[in-house]
């Protein structure tokens, strides 16, 4: 039964609604003014466009305006709103096409949307290698691919392609991996089949055994395909994202059913330009050393002597030499900083092989 409001409550409610409507009108007017001022700046100095829409400059601006954010808007919500404002400005003056590991509604799709907003153009690719090719051949300006998962470890294909291609890392995106039960069945008892990618099923297995005991799991090539199958069968369900539920006309019966709620995947965006420093950056490199005792220690000592924090190291076999390895390393700082720059030069002269992969803003925690 609907609540009955007193006359005083009705007047207060009407006042609040009118105030919200006025605030919305003011917001829209301010957003239009922002677009107008940006257009004037870009038209007066076209060369400024690359600086205005530089990922590093955008990130510095976001950190500056979000730092004093009030208590009524979470940092995550405020960042998402301003990401869309920047996306709209970029689409008007520096349109961006972003490749991502498909299909549509994949986690890579979600990571790309999180970083570049709804106003960018998107192109799904059939493989990680295709994403690299699209960027390297200038068919897309940016490409988003997974590089590391908190539980599954590194994505070796991405590491190998970074070694082989000339593109640079321009951003990192930390995405919390969430799975939902998507279905048009009226209740769990009406579900006779569960469609899922094998990894998704494995990461939700405890929940499946508890809530859908005995329901057979039909394994498919992607979570998008699982949602597509479930969308045509009211007696089935799928494990997938909110994007997939919307795309394939399914309801979210239960949300966030993954066994490990702290499951995070790290994605990178690749491109051909290095973002400007933000003051809170990361630099990625790869190198190989001479095949002799203490060679790796001697290289890492260069970083230690300059008090540079190494945040990650990973080894991969070299495809051109048996029993030789490439080391992928992330360090705190930007290549344009004096200490980092001198360290990179020293590393390059000390290593048998050295490659600078990029400097980019540190990704925002998905828990903020």
Q: What are phi and psi of 288, to 5 degrees?
A: -125, 155
Q: What is the CATH number of domain 96-175?
A: 3.40.190.10
Q: CATH second-level architecture of 275-361? A: 2-Layer Sandwich (3.30)
CB 134 within 8 A of CB 143: yes
Tell me: the pLDDT tens digits for 105-116? 989 999 999 999
Q: What angle do CA 82, 85, 89 make, to 5 degrees?
A: 140
Maximum CA extent, the chain: 85
How many Cβ atoms are within 10 Å of 47's Cβ, its own excluded?
7
Assess whether the region 96-175 and the region 180-254 belong to the same CATH fold: yes
Q: Give the CATH class of 180-254.
A: alpha beta
Contacts of residue 109, defined as CB under 8 A and 6 or more positions apart, other chains included, come to: 100, 102, 103, 122, 124, 243
Distances (CA, A) of 285 to 12, 40, 280, 343: 60, 39, 17, 11
Contacts of residue 82, defined as CB under 8 A and 6 or more positions apart, other chains included, come to: 62, 65, 66
Contacts of residue 320, defined as CB under 8 A and 6 or more positions apart, other chains included, come to: none
Among candidate residues 106, 89, 95, 116, the one with its CA nearest the CA of residue 171: 116
How many Cβ atoms are within 10 Å of 315's Cβ, its own excluded?
15
Q: DSSP letter string over 215-251?
A: PPEEE-S-HHHHHHHHHT-TTEEEEE-HHHHHHTT-E
Strand pairing of 97-101 and 121-125?
Answer: parallel
Q: Helices (DSSP H) in 142-190: which residue ranges?
A: 156-164
How many Cβ atoms are within 10 Å of 105's Cβ, its own excluded?
23
Contacts of residue 167, defined as CB under 8 A and 6 or more positions apart, other chains included, come to: 132, 135, 136, 143, 270, 271, 272
Instruction: Give the pLDDT confidence score for residue 7 in this predicted structure.
Output: 82
Beta bridge mates, 148: 154, 266
Contacts of residue 208, defined as CB under 8 A and 6 or more positions apart, other chains included, come to: 194, 201, 215, 217
Instruction: Give the pLDDT confidence score for residue 48 in this predicted structure.
Output: 67
Beta bridge mates, 123: 99
pTM: 0.86
Contacts of residue 139, defined as CB under 8 A and 6 or more positions apart, other chains included, come to: 97, 99, 123
User: Where along the chain do its domains lie?
Assistant: 22-91, 96-175, 180-254, 275-361
Strand pairing of 97-101 and 142-149?
Answer: parallel
d(CA 181, CA 110): 18
d(CA 314, CA 149): 13
Residues in the chain: 368
Measured on CA atoms in the order 186, 190, 196, 202, is the torsion positive or negative? Answer: positive
Query: pLDDT under 70 in the chain at which residues?
Result: 1-2, 48, 68-71, 368
């Amino acid at each position: 039964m609907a609540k009955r409001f007193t006359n005083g409550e009705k007047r207060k409610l009407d006042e609040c609604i009118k105030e919200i409507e006025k605030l919305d009108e003011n917001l829209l007017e301010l957003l239009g003014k922002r677009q107008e001022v940006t257009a004037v700046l870009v038209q007066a100095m076209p060369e400024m466009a690359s600086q205005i829409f530089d990922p590093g400059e955008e990130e510095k601006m976001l950190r500056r305006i979000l730092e004093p954010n009030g208590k009524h808007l979470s940092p995550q919500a405020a960042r998402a709103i301003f990401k869309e404002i920047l996306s709209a400005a970029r689409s008007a003056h520096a349109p961006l096409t972003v490749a991502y590991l498909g299909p549509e509604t994949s986690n890579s799709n979600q990571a790309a949307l999180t970083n570049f907003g709804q106003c960018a153009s998107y192109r799904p690719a059939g493989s990680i290698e295709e994403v690299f090719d699209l960027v390297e051949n200038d068919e897309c300006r940016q490409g988003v691919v997974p590089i590391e998962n908190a539980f599954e470890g590194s994505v070796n294909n991405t590491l190998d392609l970074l070694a082989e291609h000339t593109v640079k890392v321009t951003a990192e995106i930390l995405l919390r991996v969430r799975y939902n039960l998507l279905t048009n069945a009226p209740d769990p008892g009406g579900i006779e089949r569960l469609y899922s990618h094998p990894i998704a099923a494995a990461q939700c297995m405890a929940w499946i055994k508890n809530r859908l005991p005995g329901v057979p799991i039909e394994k498919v090539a992607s979570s998008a395909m699982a949602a597509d199958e479930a969308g045509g069968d009211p007696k089935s369900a799928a494990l997938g994202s909110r994007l997939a539920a919307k795309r394939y006309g399914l309801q979210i019966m239960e949300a966030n059913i993954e066994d490990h709620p702290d499951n995070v995947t790290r994605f990178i965006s690749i491109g051909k330009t290095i973002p400007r420093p933000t003051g809170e950056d990361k630099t990625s490199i790869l190198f190989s050393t001479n095949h002799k005792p203490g060679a790796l220690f001697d290289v890492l000592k260069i970083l230690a002597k300059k008090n540079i924090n190494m945040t990650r190291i990973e080894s991969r076999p070299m495809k051109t030499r048996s029993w030789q390895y490439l080391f992928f390393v992330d360090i705190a700082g930007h290549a344009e900083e004096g200490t980092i720059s001198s360290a990179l030069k020293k590393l390059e002269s000390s290593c048998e092989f050295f490659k600078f992969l990029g400097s980019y803003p540190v990704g925002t925690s998905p828990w903020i």
